Amino acid sequence: MADLRHLRQDFPILDRTVNGKRLVYLDSAATTQKPRSVIEAIDHYYRTSNANVHRGAYTLSVEATEAYENARAKVADFIGATDSDELVFTRGTTTGINFVAYGWGLNHLTEGDRIVLTGMEHHSNIVPWQLVARHTGAELAYLPINEDYEVSLDDLDTVVNSRTKIVALSGMSNVTGAFGPVAAVSAAARSVGAITVVDAAQAVPHAPLDVALLGVDFLAFSGHKMLGPTGTGGLWGRRDRLEEMEPTEGGGEMISDVGLYESTWAPIPHKFEAGTPNIAGAVGLGAAVDYLSKVGMSEVRSHERALTKYGIEQLSAVPHLTIHGPADLDNRGGVISFQLADVHPHDIATILDQEGVAVRAGHHCAKPLMRSLGVPATARASFYLYNTPEDVDALVAALHHALELFGVS
């Protein structure tokens, strides 16, 4: 296992205790902890360069603009975009997908058109499409998951048909950890002239990714799931797609000219960034990307792959524990959802918290997937670069304790 243990000292929160125990943070799929360099970059920005961006002719505003646009260039580069104008700063994955649904979908879909999703999507990649389908009369169709928790491609050619205009899928499930078949699905979409939108909330933070090679049209991700601040994220879009997409928020910053009855838009990416942006957030996200680049995304992936292997082995040895996720480590990331006997996942999470172990419990904003799994909720442990085998051991020990408390033998 790539030993990234030395990185833990960069994350001040990992020094704290919870309920008298060492904090074992296993909820990075929900949000990640922040290294000192990110916290300090935000602090430094507010202490030294805070001003509004893009309009000011004075030094502080020029510095703030430079900091904001430098962050854009770093984040674009991090995902392999050669043109930083193709990177729109957003509040997160949800905002990015909504921008595409309303800005592109609303203007390109008509009655009878088809939007294809998969059976493992987060609500963020379902509900915006339902809303747009309702507005336009388009229909939704799904690629289901199979018994290996993977998106089934058996009916790909019939589900992605000539009426399909949009295919939207996750790069990795936040419940099962399964990777989405982005290459196969986007090839099918291209063959019928449809666009592909990737929900990369769980993909960008955990493995090398290159939008130039993916062959997709849009890709949305969240800054807070990749060591950055909350309220940050990115929507990458191919230049031509962004140019044909309408802004969905209007206001300052996003215009070229405003008349009493009509306005024209600023060039991309600014036409999608109405109002004063989250400048400090962007600076923090830029620092997060610096941190991840220094560690190396291949290192991050191999560390998490090894930790997931260890986690699955150890959890599989816990009596009455069922894991919901693919066995193939090459086709999954570091998210392990599980059931423990018939103990409610919320009770599991509460008991684990007494041991300092933070896991998530619930439907994980993926109710249709939960129904396919036949469960209302799961407990979920998710890993990042700062987790260690000792964290897995602490989880397993706490689960044994839970079994004792519930009298399950």
CA nearest neighbour of 276 among 258, 253, 247: 253
Which CB atom, from 177 or from 269, has the smaller least distance to ligand PLP? 177
- Tokens 């993916």 label which residue? 214
- Tokens 């770093």 label which residue? 74
Q: Which of 32, 49, 65, 94 binds ligand PLP (CB under 6 A)?
A: 94
Residue 30: CB minimum distance to ligand PLP, A: 6
CA nearest neighbour of 140 among 177, 192, 178, 101: 101
Which DSSP state fits 178?
B
CA nearest neighbour of 205 among 92, 97, 84, 300: 300
Which CB atom, from 7 or from 126, has the smaller least distance to ligand PLP? 126
Which CB atom, from 93 or from 308, has the smaller least distance to ligand PLP? 93
User: Which of 42-50, 145-153, 197-205, 341-349 is the region at the interface with ligand PLP (rule: CB under 6 A)?
Assistant: 197-205
Q: How many H-runs (helices) and E-runs (strands) does the chain carry?
A: 14, 17
202 binds ligand PLP (CB under 6 A): yes
Phi, psi of 233 (to 5 degrees): 175, 180
93 binds ligand PLP (CB under 6 A): yes
SS3 call for 198: strand
Residue 261: how many CA atoms within 13 Å on its side-chain side?
A: 0
User: Max CA-CA distance within the chain?
Assistant: 73
Q: Which of 114, 122, 206, 380 binds ligand PLP (CB under 6 A)?
A: 122
Which CB atom, from 199 or from 273, has the smaller least distance to ligand PLP? 199
378-382 vs 360-362, strand pairing mode? antiparallel
Residue 48: CB minimum distance to ligand PLP, A: 28
Which CB atom, from 222 or from 387, has the smaller least distance to ligand PLP? 222
Q: Does the annotation count 91 as an active-site position?
A: no
Residue 354: CB minimum distance to ligand PLP, A: 25
- Locate the DSSP E strands across 154-231: 164-170, 195-199, 218-222
Q: Which of 33, 65, 98, 124 binds ligand PLP (CB under 6 A)?
A: 124
Residues 210-269 that bind ligand PLP (CB under 6 A): 222
139-143 vs 263-265, strand pairing mode? unpaired
CA nearest neighbour of 222 among 57, 79, 15: 79
Q: Which of 160, 365, 369, 395 is catalytic?
A: 365
372 binds ligand PLP (CB under 6 A): no
User: Which of 77-85, 119-127, 310-318, 387-395 is the region at the interface with ligand PLP (rule: CB under 6 A)?
Assistant: 119-127
Catalytic residues: 365
**Residues engaged in binding ligand PLP (CB under 6 A):** 29-30, 92-94, 122, 124-125, 170, 174, 199, 201-202, 222
